[in-house]
Amino acid sequence: MATGLKQNNVKHGDGTSWEDLYEINAGSLTNATRNNFFVEIKKLPNGGTKADCFYIGTGALTLSQFANLPLGSTILCPCISNPSLYLKTAAAGTATFKYQAINT
């Protein structure tokens, strides 16, 4: 077992709404709503955050509306016509996502 200073665990983030934290108004999103888009915030040991999102709507998401999500955030979409997992691969402010279809 290692001795000395060890890395802290990722912790559940609570308190600030994800809408305020990432400056995203869920009331004005295309297809995603407060009733079908859910976000779990994870606080990272370096003080940053990441968001694990779960979208249960059936309409396509407009990914540019989620540009403020931090690097490493994910959006799981099991109910769209081509179920997919999106991974944010750029810093906040850039709408760069990679996706993997879940079809097998």
Instruction: Report the chain's mean pLDDT, rounded to a whole number.
Output: 90
> Would 60 be classed as within a structural domain?
yes
Q: Tell me, yes or no, whether 3 lies in a domain.
A: no
In a domain, residue 6? The reply is no
pTM: 0.88
Tokens 């079908």: give the residue: 36
Within-domain flag for 55 = yes
Q: Please write the tens of the pLDDT for every residue from 3-49.
A: 777 677 767 777 789 999 999 999 999 999 999 999 999 988 888 99
* Statement: residue 64 has pLDDT above 90: yes
Residue 78 lies in a domain: yes
Rg (CA), the chain: 15
Distances (CA, A) of 71 to 31, 77, 80, 100, 102: 23, 18, 23, 17, 22
Residue bearing tokens 């305020």: 20
Q: Residue 21 sits in which domain range?
A: 11-101
Total count of domains within the chain: 1
Among candidate residues 1, 58, 64, the one with its CA nearest the CA of residue 35: 58
How many Cβ atoms from other residues are within 10 Å of residue 97's Cβ? Answer: 21
Please state the rounded mean pLDDT for residues 79-97.
93
Q: Is residue 2 part of a domain?
A: no
